Amino acid sequence: MESDKFETKGVLNREDVVGWLKSIAGFANASGGEFYIGVEDKTNKLIGFDRRNADNERNYFNNQVNEHLTPRPAMKISFVKQRMNHSMIKLDDERINIDSYPARALFEGVINAVAHRDYYLDGTQIQVDIFKDRLEISSPGGFYRGEKLGKTYDLSGVISKRRNELIAGVLVACNVMEAAGTGFDKITEEYAFADEAHKPYIYSSSDHFTLVLPDLTYENGVEDEALPILNFAPVPNGTELDGKVLSFCYLKAHKVSEIAGHLGISDSTYLRKQILGNMEKNGYLEKSKVSRATYYKTNPDVVTVI
């Protein structure tokens, strides 16, 4: 199935990095190509990853490409439409066909990312990740002019502010984007019939903006990863959110923006000082820094898993 324009890997081979990088370099030096991770080499069977492994595989790929290849090749997302699931609702007098993600919602999400991403953040790219229950479109840069936003389902309430007037103007002229900034309204319309577990939402921090489109064919809607239930002594001067933070950060260290998204609140001074800072001060969280990002992980010595 593989060719000079198409290659798949179940997982990236850590022992032969140069081998698969040659394929990427070949695509970049010729007329382009498609390289899919999480798909079996010979059968093209979709394997996929859970969120943690997807992040690991994505970060490893990006790091190796950044270290070895110049310039970086452009990636395509046509794989989304080719691999999405399809289902059907049977009514008394008709059948309604359903795709995992409404085509208009997917289109508007990608166009929004292209039009509004921060192109001054070097080494970054628009990221499209498919999980068993959702699709995430993440673009570099938070809200224009510095606003931060926790997890919100009110897409129509987001005020449109253009970061890239020239790019947005070109997209409007090409008739792929409307001047009125109604992309999120159209996404909301496409999911109007969905229940609460299948409603799209967005969240933002200072360095990224993410749109989440639930898979309409996945019965349970968007699921949180299984988090441990912990027993711990009350945190001095703590809050009602302490338990959620400890469970979320028990298996893996998380950035403040990720914690804010999980809690459904904004990345604020209150979160950083009154919640996370207080828990760190009292020994419940361990803080570390990677580049300019601050990470928190639960101190396993002060909790027990139930």
> If you average pLDDT over residues 113-121, what whole number do you get?
85
Q: Torsions phi, psi of 106, nearest 5?
A: -65, -45
**Is the distance from CB of 280 to CB of 231 less than 8 angstroms?**
no
* Last residue of one domain, picked from the residues 76, 104, 135: 76
Same domain, 297 and 266: yes
Residue 175: count other Cβ atoms within 10 Å of its Cβ: 7
Host domain of residue 102? 77-223
Confidence band of 127 (pLDDT split at 50, 70, 90)? confident
Tokens matching residue 26: 């070949």
pTM for the predicted model, two decimal places:
0.53
Same-domain status, 81 and 214: yes
In this prediction, residues 105-125 reach a mean pLDDT of 85
Last residue of a domain, one of 28, 44, 76: 76
| Residues 193 and 234 occupy one common structural domain | no
Among 29, 49, 76, the domain-final residue is 76
- Residue 154 dihedral angles phi and psi, to the nearest 5°: -85, 70
> For residue 21, what pLDDT band results from cuts at 50, 70 and 90?
confident
Residue 70 pLDDT exceeds 70: no
For the sheet containing 254-255, what is the strand order? Answer: 254-255, 293-298, 285-290
Do the Cβ atoms of 266 and 142 come closer than 8 Å?
Answer: no
Return the CATH number at 260. Answer: 1.10.10.10
Decide the pairing of beta strands 6-9 and 34-37.
parallel
**Number of domains within the chain:** 3
Q: Quick one: pLDDT at residue 276?
A: 96
Q: Are residues 89 and 198 in contact, defined by beta-carbon separation less than 8 angstroms?
A: no
Q: Is the peptide bond before 71 cis (omega within 30 degrees of 0)?
A: yes
Q: Do residue 51 and residue 112 come from a single domain?
A: no
| Mean of the per-residue pLDDT values of the chain | 81
Distance CA 181, CA 189 (A): 14
Contact at 8 Å (CB) between 6 and 34? yes
Do residues 271 and 250 share a domain? yes
DSSP H/E element including 70: none
Do 149 and 55 have their domain in common?
no
State the CATH number of the domain containing residue 209.
Answer: 3.30.565.60
My answer on whether 88 and 210 are in the same domain is yes
Question: Confidence band (pLDDT; 50, 70, 90) for 180?
Answer: low
Domain identity same for 108 and 185: yes
The share of the chain scoring above pLDDT 90, in percent, equals: 19
Residues 218 and 126 in one domain: yes
Identify the pLDDT of residue 232: 94
Instruction: State the pLDDT at residue 73.
Output: 47
- My answer on whether 84 and 219 are in the same domain is yes
- H helix count then E strand count, the chain: 10, 14
Nearest Cα residue to 230 out of 251, 202, 253, 200:
251
Highest mean pLDDT out of 24-38, 59-73, 103-117, 157-171: 103-117
Both 216 and 93 in a single domain?
Answer: yes
What is residue 261's three-state secondary structure?
helix
For the chain, the farthest-separated pair of C-alpha atoms sits apart, in whole angstroms, at: 63
Q: What pLDDT does 225 receive?
A: 57
Which of 2-11, 235-244, 258-267 shows the lowest per-residue confidence on average (mean pLDDT)? 2-11
More confident residue, 82 or 240: 240
Residue 242 has pLDDT above 90, yes or no: yes
Query: Position 228: which residue type?
Result: P
pLDDT per position as a tens digit, 129-155: 888 888 999 888 877 555 556 667 778
Give residue 234's pLDDT band: very low, low, confident or very high (50, 70, 90).
Answer: very high
Tokens for 196? 């609460």
Q: Which residues pair with 96 in a beta bridge?
A: 89
Residues 6+ apart with CB under 8 A from 143: 149, 161, 204, 209
Higher pLDDT pick, 168 / 235:
235
Q: How far apart are CA 155 and CA 293, in angstroms?
A: 27
How high is the pLDDT of residue 145? 55
The span from the CA of 126 to the CA of 110, in Å, is 9
DSSP letter assigned to residue 234: P
- Do 71 and 82 lie in one domain? The reply is no
